[in-house]
Structure formats: structure tokens, C-alpha cells
Structure 1
């Protein structure tokens, strides 16, 4: 008589949940080109230099300085995402293959000096057309990500700043401008690299993204701003303690440190795992 087999209670539900669980999107890599690798290292240093040179003006008149430096920060961030990152839905291999002929074959070289000259001119025109196509394929997503940054990320961060203690009835313009700087630092590259992928944004809000330069910069901005708020209530009577100077300085430093540290083998590709007690108990019983 054959032995009866029975499945453990809840095994089918666990199997279905495991099959429905979507794997995490891989970490974002910097493009392999030489200029991308160089600028991805120089970019955080450039932002820190911008903040250091304008620090005295920021202390003297925060509102005016935040307004005047926001366009420069925007240009620097747009240049960074275009040069160093692939837009959402594309990979470096697909961008490279876009410049190759569609059939994978090179066009025949005409014989004769006149034919060779025409071939060179045609090749240059085609190369220029492919270059403009690649630039446009990155510029359009960059502009869209910037629009979403100002339209969505800035108001959200402004509300978060107020919830964490920013003045509600005063310094409203300073709060919005501080949120705009933080949004351009943290959200522009995230939106550019991930688009509207719901699974990725669930990981972002759950602090569960695999570490890369994009996520490291965003997380570093948030942590830096949080640590930057510590000196504000201290009884030091320094002019640089005024809101939101230290928060903004901390955000810039946090972005630079986070984006560089996230590319090191120590933390790259790793993520924080939050496991509930129920799942831990199920693992022990199984």
C-alpha cells in the first residue's frame, strides 16, 4: 500500500507568493565610456566645490543664494545623468548598437578617388546623425526627469522638511528652495535611471534598493540633511546655524559621500533586508 503524501499547511500559499515575487532591479552601473568614468568621480567634487565657494554668500543671504545656484545645480545634474547613466528602459549595449548599421554589415567602399571622398563624407554625416540621435535619446528623458523632480519630488520633500521641524508659518520660500536643491540632488538621477517602475520605487521608499551610485547619492542626501539639522537648535549663536544652511550643506556632503561610497566593492549591490518575525518563524519550522 503506497504511503500517503500530504503537503504542509500553507506550503501552496508560500509557493504562490514566491512565484509572484518580482526580482529586484539590478544596480545601476555608470556607462563604460572613459568620459563617463572620469566625470562620475569628478561630479561629487564639483558639487562640493560649488557649495564651498558659495558658502559665505549662502550665510549672508540664503534665499538669494539658493535661487541663484539652483539653475547651476540643475545644469550640472542634467549633464551628469546624460554623460554617466543610461535612461530607463535602455542599456549601454543597446545604445552602442544604435550607431551600428541595422543589418550588421558595413556599407561597401566605392572604388576610385571620387567614390572614396563621397564615402568619407557620407560616413561623417551618418556618424553625426547617430551622435545627435544618441544625445537626444538621453536629453529627452533627462528633461522629463527634471520636470518630474520639480513637480513631484520638491513638494514631497518640502512637506517632509516641515514634518521634521522646518518652520511652517515662516521661512516658506527657504523651505521650498531647500527642498528643490535636495530634490535635484536625489531624485533627478533616480527618475532618469528607473522611470516609473513601481517595484523600484517601492524599494526606494522601503530603503531596500541594491546600493549603486544613484541610490547611494539619494540616500546620502537624506542622511546628510538629517545630520545637518543637528546644529540648528544648539546655543552657539553662529550665523551659519540659521535654517536651512546646515541642512543644505549636509545634503551636499551626504550626496558626494554616498555616491562615491556606493560604488566601492564594500557596499555595491548590497541591500538592507527587512524580514518579519512571521517569515523568520516559518524558516525555522521548515
Structure 2
């Protein structure tokens, strides 16, 4: 009889039943610690705004042709940014920093007389340089492939999703279809390239992205800034100012570029970095209404 007793009977009465632990959210993404990465992370938003400002007059004159011409330049800038400034999916700045420190300690402890190293006569350090060259090439390939994959995924998946969202938010459905698709393509490269590069296709993280529950960092801040900037950029379109730059999708696109740049910079401020947007639960709101 004792062996047939269920495990639930062993739980003492009144003890709380533990719910299954939820998967912890991924920490915020840090810019890589190298000097080049830190400098370019501030230069990149300036380059994007410069591209937008320099091509603005041609964008007003012929939106479709100009959006097509600017798309390769935007793709090049985004690939450069993710490769220089961000860790690829599956790695974090912390683990890279620890591994680099361990390698430096091991290299400092080694000596030319160590049996683990084989040096050629007359060519000191040849084997070490040769090995470091292989590591550098492997590190470059480990960044190039995720960068182009993130660019492809952003173009093929995020572009149609954003095009549908633009239509749902008021973009014309039967006209201006090339403008809608190209505007969505620019917004996809601005918002999704870094997200895919840094987080891959982890469903738990993408639930946080769509639920606006990610901790604030440069990657999430630039994506959120792109969406908010495009939303605010649509405000001048229905106003009766009769300006040529009010035509769809010029102000939306400019707002997306400005929002991306501001989001990537503001999100790195100490007061915002790592914080999450907190929404008040329904029970709390009802309790406040009853007390009032």
C-alpha cells in the first residue's frame, strides 16, 4: 500500500504548490567593448540621418526611384553596424569578455620553452601568429554569415509584415503600392536587422519584442524608435499645408530614420538601459478605482 501512494499525498497540507518556472528573459544587448565598436555605435546613427538628409530633395521629387537607390546603402550600413558593434545570436558580451580574459591569462603564462608550443628555428612566434590568423578568419566568418542571414530574414519576412501594418494604419490599399512596399523594406532593415542578428529566431525573445517587454538596449531601442518615429511621421500627411514633402510615405520614412537614430542613442542612457516598460495589471487598476 505504501508503494501505491501517489506523490501528491506526500505534500503537507497547506503548503503552496510551486508552478513551473518560466524561462528567464534574455539580458539586454551590450555594444562590444572594443574602441572601434564604441565609436561606430555613435557614428552609425549620424550616417543614417546624413543619408536621409542628403537624399531628401530627390526623395520628394521621385519617392519610388529614390527609395530603390537608397536601399542598398541602408543595407550596407546595417550590416556594418551589426558586425562591428553587436555580438551575434548565441553569444553575449559577458561570455566573450570572460573568454578573452582567460585566453590572455593563458598566453601570459606560456613561455617559448613550454612543451605545448612548437617554434620553428629562426622564426620565433611563427606558430602563434599562424593560429591567431585562423582565429581571426573564423571570427570574421562567424559574423558575416549571421549578418547576411539577418538581412535576408528582415527583407523577406519583416517587409511584408510591416507593409500590412502600414495599410492597417491608413496607407492606401489600391494605390501607391510600390511606395508602401519600399517604405516597409526600409523600416524592416532599420528595425529588424539588429534584432535578428542579436537574438536569432528565439520565440521567447520575439514574444517579448511584440509584447514590448524587452529590457531597453540599443537594439530594442532602435527598433522601438523606428516604429514610434514612423507613427509620429504620419501626422503631417492629412494636414492641408499643400507641401510636396507631405506626400505618402515621405514623412513616415523620415520619422522612421529619426526615431531609429534617437532610439539607439537614448536607450543607452544609464537611466533607461536595462529597464523594462511596466504595464499596470488589471487587478491594480480596479483596486485604484475602488479606492477613488
* TM-score band, normalised by shorter chain: 0.7 to 0.9
CA shift, 1:7, in A, is: 3.0
Aligned counterpart, 2:149: 144
The alignment's TM-score, normalised by the length of structure 2, stands at: 0.85
Is 1:257–2:262 an aligned residue pair? yes
Contact 2:30–2:93 (CA under 8 A) maintained in structure 1: no
- Segments of structure 1 that go 5 or more residues without pairing to the other structure are none
CA distance in 1, matches of 2:83, 2:230: 26
Partner of 1:56: 57
Alignment of 1:157-196 (within 5 A): 157-196=162-201
The number of aligned residues is 270
Residue pair 1:110, 1:116 contacting (<8 A) in 2 also: no
Counterpart-to-counterpart distance in 1, 2:286 and 2:180: 45
How far did 1:116 drift? 6.1
Deviations 1:183-209 (A, max 9, x none): 000000001111111111111111111
Q: Tell me the C-alpha RMSD between the 2 structures.
A: 2.6
- Give 1:7's match in structure 2, choosing from 4, 7, 14: 14
Cα offset, 1:118, TM superposition: 2.3
In structure 2, what is the equivalent of residue 40 of structure 1?
41
| TM-score normalized with structure 1 length | 0.86
Distance 1:86 1:117, change over 3 A: farther
Structure 2 unmatched runs, 5+ = 1-11, 288-292
Verify the 8 A CA contact 1:58 1:66 in the aligned structure 2: yes
Q: Deviations over 1:9-43 (max 9, x none)?
A: xx53xx41xx4222221111000010000000111
CA shift for structure 1 position 81:
0.4
Distance change (3 Å), C-alpha of 1:99 and 1:20:
closer
Cα distance in 1 for partners of 2:223, 2:167 equals 19
